[in-house]
A and B are shown apart, each in its own frame.
Chain A
Amino acid sequence: MKLAARWRLVLVVAFVGALEIASRRAWIDPVSFIPPSKMAEGAWALLASGDYTNDILQTLANASLAVLLAVAGGFVFGVCLFKLPRLRRVVDPLLLSYYAVPIFVVYPVLIVIFGLNRWPLVAIGFLFGVVAMATNTLNGLERVAPVLLRSARAMRMSTIDEIRLITLPASLPYVFTGVKLAVVYAFIAVIAGEFVLAGSGFGFRIAYAYNNFDNPTMYGLMLLLLVFVGTLNMLLHMAEERLYSRTRRASA
């Protein structure tokens, strides 16, 4: 294990240990914060009981739908921005402002449009993820070295072949970053949406537990979420690293 990874493990373990001690010794208010070990117990109990399976599956389904739409839509949007430089120039500053507004304020509007079902949530997830996917697709396309495209022309490749054999492989690492971000953001959005205004789903369960002062359940659910998102992020990151390692000699 690399030195940095070892130290990281030590750091994380020390931090969790400190939390454990602090909460057991009541240095932190035990009503607000329960020891990590209790959180873990609670989380395990929740999983085992199967009461929350439906909610978990529902949230996963919503998020997956949102991811699919965000990736597809974002990719197309990114390609459009690439092909239309004027559009891109103008849209540039707007893209960052996009993330400044809590997008899920339009949630009620979406409910009226789609009805009280999963679609407003999926739409929110889509809206959150599509921009990240688009900008990273754009980034990837721009980073294809011009000399590669000129080589394609020198070899008299057809457009389809050029896209298939050169453009896509060359931009793949960056496009994958977009996919990774779309996944992360879609999850954030769907769970946030469920938290705020929903009747079921994982986010809703957390809010429900909070409102009912059911701290063990709430923390158990939060821990589950943290573990899940953390693992997902790590897997995506590892895949991303593999893709990038082909394009550079030392890992950035």
Chain B
Amino acid sequence: MSTLLTSTLKPAHQHRKWSDGALLVVALLALWQVASSLLGAEVLPGPWLTFLKLKSIMSDDDFPENLRVTAVAFALGFAISCMGGVCLGLVLGAQRLAGDIVEPILMAFYAIPKITLYPVVLLMFGLGLYAKVTFGVIHGIIPITIFTMNAVRNMRPVFARTARACRLSPVSYARHVLLPAAVPEVLAGLRIGFSLTLLGTLIGEMFASQSGIGHMLMIAMSRNDSQTIMALASLLFIFATVVNLAMLKWHQRLIKAP
């Protein structure tokens, strides 16, 4: 069915050699440096300059506060996306008709440039935490819902029959069969939801906040401060990659891949 992003990519062969990863990082850094030299350091600062700038930003006095503001908004947004998305997905997955009705609506909503809904959100919530959290949630909740829904729907029918053969009550069925069976795919949805909620929160901060990392980005953009832009973008990218890797590892453990 329609892949949101990489939902149905077959898992790559799991021999993740660190040397390969290190090689790629080095290659990317080299590419970056070449691009920087070609375009000029004012336009595109190279890796080293960016690193220095990042250090200086992070040792700045206001940075911890900005980080805290973003972290709070993101954590709230992600928590709501997760819980809301998983619950909604479980219901839509278990109730076939409800799922059939709602899925195209979700997909359509996913395809809308949500940035165009920001004015509405801003008008309703004003500037501040609620708006940011809302931005985060409207980005993240949809993939989580869809993945959870599919996880429930795609559960192998023999598990349901086994549960009946063992005479499980509905609660016992949900707890001991449905949920464990759904967890790997739900986790895949959480991975995507994580990235998108972060994106939504940051964009929200760019428009609806007087502080936070997104706000810092916005200021840097309007001042054309490419060093700060690159520094913050790198920070976010590294953060997202680390979390993604952690979640991937968790996923591998769950599916007990040899």
A residues 55-104 touching B (CB-CB < 8 Å): 85-97, 99-102
Query: Is B116 a contact partner of A222 (Cβ separation < 8 A)?
Result: yes
Please judge, given known A-B contacts A180-B2, A192-B113, whether A102 and B12 are in contact too, CB under 8 Å.
no
Partner of B115, one of A93, A101, A112, A188: A188
Q: Report the separation of the CA atoms of residues A78 and B5 in the bound assembly, to the nearest whole angstrom.
A: 13
Q: Report the separation of the CA atoms of residues A138 and B239 in the bound assembly, to the nearest whole angstrom.
A: 26
Query: Is B23 a contact partner of A32 (Cβ separation < 8 A)?
Result: no
Query: Is B244 a contact partner of A93 (Cβ separation < 8 A)?
Result: yes
Is A126 positioned at the interface, with any CB of B under 8 Å from its CB? no
Question: Which B residue sits closest to A215, measured CB to CB?
Answer: B123
Partner of B206, one of A102, A139, A181, A230: A102
A-chain residues with CB within 8 Å of residue B199 when the two chains form the complex: 99-102
Is B10 positioned at the interface, with any CB of A under 8 Å from its CB? yes
A-chain residues with CB within 8 Å of residue B224 when the two chains form the complex: 108, 112
Question: Which A residue sits closest to B25, measured CB to CB?
Answer: A90
B-chain residues with CB within 8 Å of residue A33 when the two chains form the complex: 120, 123-124
Is B241 positioned at the interface, with any CB of A under 8 Å from its CB? yes
A-chain residues with CB within 8 Å of residue B115 when the two chains form the complex: 188, 191-192, 195-196, 203
Q: Report the separation of the CA atoms of residues A135 and B229 in the bound assembly, to the nearest whole angstrom.
A: 27
Query: Is A105 a contact partner of B221 (Cβ separation < 8 A)?
Result: yes
A-chain residues with CB within 8 Å of residue B202 when the two chains form the complex: 101-102
Question: Which B residue sits closest to A89, measured CB to CB?
Answer: B12
Question: Which B residue sits closest to A228, measured CB to CB?
Answer: B112
Is A197 positioned at the interface, with any CB of B under 8 Å from its CB? yes
* Chain B 218-244 interface mask (CB, 8 Å, partner A; 1/0): 000100101001001100110111001
Is B97 positioned at the interface, with any CB of A under 8 Å from its CB? yes
Partner of A109, one of B108, B217, B229: B229
Is B161 positioned at the interface, with any CB of A under 8 Å from its CB? no
A-chain residues with CB within 8 Å of residue B97 when the two chains form the complex: 3-4, 7
Query: Is A135 a contact partner of B5 (Cβ separation < 8 A)?
Result: yes
Is A240 positioned at the interface, with any CB of B under 8 Å from its CB? yes
Is A8 positioned at the interface, with any CB of B under 8 Å from its CB? yes
A120 CB to nearest chain B CB (Å): 12
A residues 23-51 touching B (CB-CB < 8 Å): 28-29, 31-33
Please judge, given known A-B contacts A7-B97, A11-B105, whether A105 and B217 are in contact too, CB under 8 Å.
yes
Partner of A230, one of B112, B120, B245: B112
Is A160 positioned at the interface, with any CB of B under 8 Å from its CB? no
Is B248 positioned at the interface, with any CB of A under 8 Å from its CB? yes
Please judge, given known A-B contacts A91-B24, A102-B202, A206-B119, whether A237 and B229 are in contact too, CB under 8 Å.
no
A-chain residues with CB within 8 Å of residue B137 when the two chains form the complex: none
Query: Is B237 a contact partner of A177 (Cβ separation < 8 A)?
Result: no
Query: Is A105 a contact partner of B6 (Cβ separation < 8 A)?
Result: no
Is B165 positioned at the interface, with any CB of A under 8 Å from its CB? no
Is B20 positioned at the interface, with any CB of A under 8 Å from its CB? yes
Query: Is B195 a contact partner of A97 (Cβ separation < 8 A)?
Result: yes
Please judge, given known A-B contacts A96-B244, A99-B199, A191-B115, whether A32 and B123 are in contact too, CB under 8 Å.
yes
Please judge, given known A-B contacts A33-B124, A139-B8, whether A237 and B3 are in contact too, CB under 8 Å.
no
Is A149 positioned at the interface, with any CB of B under 8 Å from its CB? no
Partner of B112, one of A12, A92, A102, A229: A229
B34 CB to nearest chain A CB (Å): 14
Please judge, given known A-B contacts A96-B192, A233-B111, whether A90 and B20 are in contact too, CB under 8 Å.
yes
Please judge, given known A-B contacts A89-B16, A135-B9, whether A8 and B104 are in contact too, CB under 8 Å.
yes
Partner of B43, one of A28, A90, A113, A230: A113
B-chain residues with CB within 8 Å of residue A112 when the two chains form the complex: 39, 43, 224, 226
Is A142 positioned at the interface, with any CB of B under 8 Å from its CB? yes
A-chain residues with CB within 8 Å of residue B226 when the two chains form the complex: 108-109, 112
A-B contact pairs, 15 of them (CB 8 A): A8-B102, A29-B124, A33-B124, A93-B248, A95-B6, A100-B195, A113-B44, A142-B10, A181-B3, A188-B115, A203-B115, A226-B112, A226-B116, A229-B113, A244-B1
Instruction: Give me the interface of B with A, judged by CB distance under 8 Å.
Output: 1-6, 8-10, 12-13, 15-16, 20-21, 23-24, 39, 43-44, 97, 100-102, 104-105, 107-108, 110-117, 119-120, 122-124, 191-192, 194-196, 198-199, 202-203, 206, 214, 217, 221, 224, 226, 229, 232-233, 236-237, 239-241, 244-245, 248
Known contacts A8-B104, A142-B10, A229-B113; 11 further A-B pairs (Cβ under 8 A): A4-B101, A11-B101, A93-B241, A94-B24, A99-B199, A100-B237, A132-B5, A135-B9, A139-B3, A195-B115, A210-B119
